[in-house]
Amino acid sequence: MMTKQLNILLVEDLSSDAELIKLELKKEKINFILKTVDNKKDFLFALKQSKPDIILSDFNLPQFDGLEALEISKEKFHEIPFIFVTGTLNDETVVGCIKAGAWDYVIKEHLVRLGPAVKQALKLKGEIEDKKNAENALRKSEERFRSLIQNSSDIITVIDKSGKVLYHSPSAERILGYKLNEIQKKNYIFELIHTDDIEETKKIFSNILNDFSKIFKIEYRILSKKGNWIYLESFCSNQLNNKSINGIVLNSRDITERKRAEQIQ
CB 10, CB 18: distance < 8 Å: yes
Closest to 44 in 3D by CA, of 11, 16, 14 = 11
Distance CA(186)–CA(201), nearest Å, equals: 17
| Whole-number pLDDT of residue 28 | 87
Distance CA(145)–CA(245), nearest Å, equals: 8
Check whether 222 has a pLDDT greater than 80.
yes
Check whether 6 has a pLDDT greater than 60.
yes
User: What's the half-sphere exposure (Cβ side, CA atoms, 13 Å) at 247?
Assistant: 19
| Whole-number pLDDT of residue 236 | 93
Distance CA(63)–CA(181), nearest Å, equals: 63
β-pairing, 82-86 vs 216-223, is: unpaired
Residue 153 main-chain phi, psi, to 5 deg: -80, -20
- What's the sign of the alpha-carbon dihedral 27, 30, 34, 36? negative
Mean pLDDT along residues 139-147? 70
User: What's the half-sphere exposure (Cβ side, CA atoms, 13 Å) at 37?
Assistant: 19
Model confidence, pTM: 0.55
**pLDDT more than 70, % of the chain:** 94
